[in-house]
Structure 1
Amino acid sequence: MIKSVVTTLCSLVLACATANTLAQTATTSAAKPQPEARAGVLKSVRGDVRLLAPDGSMRTGKSGDVVAPIDRIVTGPDSGASVVLRDGTKLVVGPSSRLDLKEFHFDSTTQDGGMLLSLLQGSARMVTGLIGKTHPDAVRVETPTAVIGIRGTDFIVQADPQP
């Protein structure tokens, strides 16, 4: 009888400890946003700026909004946006532009990462952050007519709309 009570109590203690650990893990995961879910933030917005997600949903961009690792930034005439990525890269997207952030990953511990941007239309200025400074070959910018490999840290690129 005592043996079965002890066995039952041990099982309950083990079940409670497991449930508590699972609850703490879920709470920690929910409270702490995963850095992979964001590539950076919109620091400033002027005029009509929209963010287009891969699923086709579009939202109006405003200062402080999160930019996902795969997002399209669309600016209207007389509009622009400034984005700061997690590695410190700064992007300024000019008026009437479409810029795809096709890929972004960055590990702040090892400072490894990579990014692929595609300027479909308009203009953009880029000041590279840690990825471009430590691994320049891991940063690429595409335009409708060329792929740019990064060898400097500050440049401007322009792409005319396709006829």
Structure 2
Amino acid sequence: MPDIFLEDFIIGEVKTFGSHTFSREEIVAFAGEFDPQPMHLDEAAGKASLLGGLAASGWHTCAILMRLICDGFLLRTASMGSPGVTENKWKEPVRPGDTLTLRRTVLESRTSRSKPEMGLVTFRFELLKPDKSVVLEQVCVIMIGRRNPGARLA
């Protein structure tokens, strides 16, 4: 049963959730299955690339982002899916041994005009290194059910 609804997301609110440490084995395994570019599979190829060393696939970091979102709060919400990601930026390489934490900022929250039983919340999700540098930034809209669909929102 969800215990987080549209009304619980306050514009401007910032929270952090969970963390994940990337291992060399995990980076290479993900790349081997889903993104077999040389800079994600081999140290020498990574060093010769623009990334300057073995680095996780951006899609790997997105998958970890989704896991941290789910574990952090989404599985407890009245989530109704998402119409899409509006922005995705890979800002720094993710290396073996990097530990990343999720930071969530609520950018916008509003009731749907066509489906008043739900609302749309726009989030900025960021994966941060311990020094607070951002390696991944994503802006995403999630459809979330209202606690009391008949009530007016302020």
- State the TM-score, normalizing by the size of structure 2: 0.26
Instruction: Identify, as 1 or 2, the structure richer in strand.
Output: 1
Q: Which structure is higher in RCO with an 8 Å CA cutoff and minimum separation 6?
A: 2
- State the TM-score, normalizing by the size of structure 1: 0.25
**Bigger Cα Rg:** 1
